[in-house]
Structure 1
Amino acid sequence: MEMIAFLINGTFVFATALIFAALGGLITERAGVINLGLEGFMVSGAFTAGVVTYYAEQAGMAGAAPWIGFLAAPIFTLLFALLHAIASVRFKANQVISGIVVNMLAASSTFFFVKLLFDGAAETPLLQNVFSKVSIPVLSELPFVGVAFFSLYPVTYIAIALAIIIYFIMYRTPLGLRLRAVGEHPGSADTAGVRVNRLRFLAVLAGGMIASLGGATVTLTMNSSFTFHTISGQGFIALAAVIFGRWHPIGAFGAALFFGVAQAVKDQIQVIEAAKHIPNEIFYLLPYVLTLVVLIFTSKKSSSPAALGVPYEPGKR
């Protein structure tokens, strides 16, 4: 039972970054814009969190440093989200290519800035202040559920709350109705007075900023520094979570947890004596193999927004 409790806890830990990124991708794609740039947004967020947290530590703000880095991530990532929005919405460029460019630009530029800021080093210095798990009083002391659900990183609680908030906005408010409308039937939404391209533009910016929190989470919980390999494809796993979750906030949240299980299982299996003879590379393959398997079996059942990837021309309704 104890191992299961730690497995559930580890699932939430590893899934937190994916939840943020999947929710960011969901908002953008629900508005009708393909968000292949999730990887780049996460890289940007991871870089910003690492650098800002480090300099906040040097400035004597040790206790607040992780939060400063976490909140700074969306601000810097706004530049990359703006690039994707201008290219895909304003100039109606191919959205897939635009996302790939964002990924490449984020990876190369952040690597360059790390070398520039830290005298040619390939990574930021190891952070002295990162997030620690927060145990909820009384509840964390309960057998099994205390370890499994009530001793998590503070950003995990934020990710869970954000999923609920986005669900409420998307399905219980006029803004959410408009957002879904521009992704399904932009012509009808335009006729009803919704400024389609403006809403899509803002959705790309919001999605990129939220996805960056996923990258910041990786740096400030599991890595304690930023390197070129910090994200390592997690943005694409988050995109798979959006598809697997059928473009629904709770579905994407559940899919992120599902992929988080693979990471947690990897850590649990590695401590078992019988598994120590298995090469580590096999365990690192698990999340990506699981992603491919899920996409193979769910791609035909997934129904994306009708206007996803289709630029909107106001004169053509």
Structure 2
Amino acid sequence: MSGVSTTTAQDMAKVTVATGFWTKARKVGLGLLVAGVLAAIIFGSLATEQSARFTLSEDSGGAALEIGGTLGAILFGIIAAAAGAALLAGLDQRWFLWALGVGIVGLVLSFLCWQISDAPPGQNFMPMVNMVRGTFLLALPLIFGALAGVLCERSGVVNVAIEGQLLMGAFAGALIGTMSGSVWIGLIAAALGGAFISLLLAVFSIRYLVDQVVVGVVLNLFAIGLTGFLYERLMQTNQQEYNQPPHFGTWEIPLLSDIPVIGPALFRGNIFLYLALILVVVLQVALFRTRWGLRTRSVGEHPTAADTLGIRVLGLRYRNVLLAGMVAGIGGASYTLLLYSFTKNMIGGKGFIALAALIFGRWSPTGALLAALFFGFADQLGAYLGAINSIIPSQFLAMLPYLATILAVAGLVGRVRAPAADGKPYIKG
């Protein structure tokens, strides 16, 4: 046993020498340690003795988790610093993501204890049900868009056209849904609208080998121009006939909807929420546990080798890109068949945020879901702080997910690598 331990220690020493002391985990740990200490000092000094209440309902009534503002800001800052210190001390790599998660949550809670305790009397609470519900609602188009990106880029096709797919889906859902008077027909039309943009992407990038980033940008502009023109010619002149789509209602799941916080937020939801969660599970299993998933990943990593094994590389790419367009089109319909009527360029850049979520989520369905929820939470937090008249401009909070994405792409939170053949055209020999 001692011989084994000695060998292991020697191996670890060799790894340390080869990689240097400042591994990525230790760099992240140092950052968390410094941020946690600063949070405890700054947020702790700015917070008041008024309690910060996290209510388990939709208002200030009912059960709540309560802590003094100053105490909470200092305590959660220390927790974040402790997580950073553990990483800096060389915590096992298996626990890296857990320590990182604890550190980030600690920083967020330290910040919230300051903000909530500093709110005017009667507003020193955060309704957790509304926060969770708002996070998922704002993340819905991002989840669908990021899943569309996963389908394309795992197949070797860069999908910069997510914005156009979402927009065309929103437009088709509103137009056809209004004309037919059926939300279900509108939903099908939205899927076909997104698939139309994807078909153009597939033809130009796969058949004619046009640069995939360039064609994606052009298709976004095409979707903005086409939907804007038709909006002005049809919808704006006759809103009642062309732009009054029916909306899906709320679907409540018995028993599950009674679970505190999560129940009212998730299980009194809409069809788009349930579809998004189901799609994440289905695509995660399909990509990593089925023959289709193996073939898709092989086409995205090494199409020449896949071709020699009899896989129809181009055909599989066509099918997956079209499927991605349908998924994104349904995401676009979450605007017009759930809450709003159609307006010009109503997606407002969400497709590019979905692309960032795809990268931040490391090209996996579950990662894309978590990244999209991170973006959605930042948006919802900005809205909440605006409601309590925070001194922090919401624009600064909106920057945080993008900063995290930059750090992820730079490799500071682990290796982030796109599929090897992503964006590279394949010419069958």
Q: What secondary structure, in the 3-state scheme, does the structure 2 residue paired with 1:35 have?
A: coil
Provide closer, same or farther for how the CA distance between residues 171 and 135 of structure 1 changes in structure 2, counting only shifts above 3 A. same
Is 1:188–2:305 an aligned residue pair?
yes
Displacement after TM superposition at 1:102 (Å)? 0.8
Residue 252 of structure 1 corresponds to which residue in structure 2?
A: 368
Q: What secondary structure, in the 3-state scheme, does the structure 2 residue paired with 1:161 have?
A: helix
Displacement after TM superposition at 1:155 (Å)? 1.1
Provide closer, same or farther for how the CA distance between residues 296 and 121 of structure 1 changes in structure 2, counting only shifts above 3 A. farther
Check conservation: 1:40, 1:107, Cα contact below 8 A: yes
Provide closer, same or farther for how the CA distance between residues 221 and 270 of structure 1 changes in structure 2, counting only shifts above 3 A. farther
Provide closer, same or farther for how the CA distance between residues 125 and 52 of structure 1 changes in structure 2, counting only shifts above 3 A. closer
Moved >4 Å (runs of 4+): 119-126
Q: What are the superposed Cα offsets for residues 134-189 of structure 1, whole Å, 9 maximum, x if unpaired?
A: 22223223333322332212210111001111111111111110100011011110
- Using CA pairs below 8 Å that are at least 6 residues apart, which structure has the higher relative contact order? 1
Tell me which amino acid in the other structure corresponds to 1:168.
V
Distance 1:46 1:52 in 2: 10
Check conservation: 1:32, 1:307, Cα contact below 8 A: yes
Is 1:283–2:399 an aligned residue pair?
no
Check conservation: 1:114, 1:124, Cα contact below 8 A: no
Distance 1:50 1:309 in 2: 33
Residue 51 of structure 1 corresponds to which residue in structure 2?
A: 175
Pairing 1:1-317 to 2, within 5 Å after superposition = 1=55, 2=57, 3-57=127-181, 65-118=182-235, 120=237, 127=244, 129-222=246-339, 224-272=340-388, 274-275=389-390, 282-283=393-394, 286-287=397-398, 289-301=399-411, 302-315=416-429
Displacement after TM superposition at 1:252 (Å)? 0.7
Distance 2:292 2:370 in 1: 24
Q: What secondary structure, in the 3-state scheme, does the structure 2 residue paired with 1:305 have?
A: coil
* Structure whose CA Rg is larger: 2
Unmatched runs of 5 consecutive residues or more in structure 1: 58-64
Q: TM-score, normalised by structure 1?
A: 0.89
Displacement after TM superposition at 1:240 (Å)? 0.7
Provide closer, same or farther for how the CA distance between residues 111 and 286 of structure 1 changes in structure 2, counting only shifts above 3 A. farther
Q: What are the superposed Cα offsets for residues 97-153 of structure 1, whole Å, 9 maximum, x if unpaired?
A: 110111011110011112222354799966363122222223223333322332212
Distance 2:343 2:395 in 1: 17
Displacement after TM superposition at 1:35 (Å)? 0.3
Quote the RMSD (CA, aligned, Å).
Answer: 2.1
Residue 60 of structure 1 corresponds to which residue in structure 2?
A: none
Displacement after TM superposition at 1:314 (Å)? 1.8
Distance 2:146 2:189 in 1: 20
Displacement after TM superposition at 1:290 (Å)? 3.0
Displacement after TM superposition at 1:284 (Å)? 6.0
Displacement after TM superposition at 1:218 (Å)? 1.7
Distance 1:216 1:127 in 2: 13
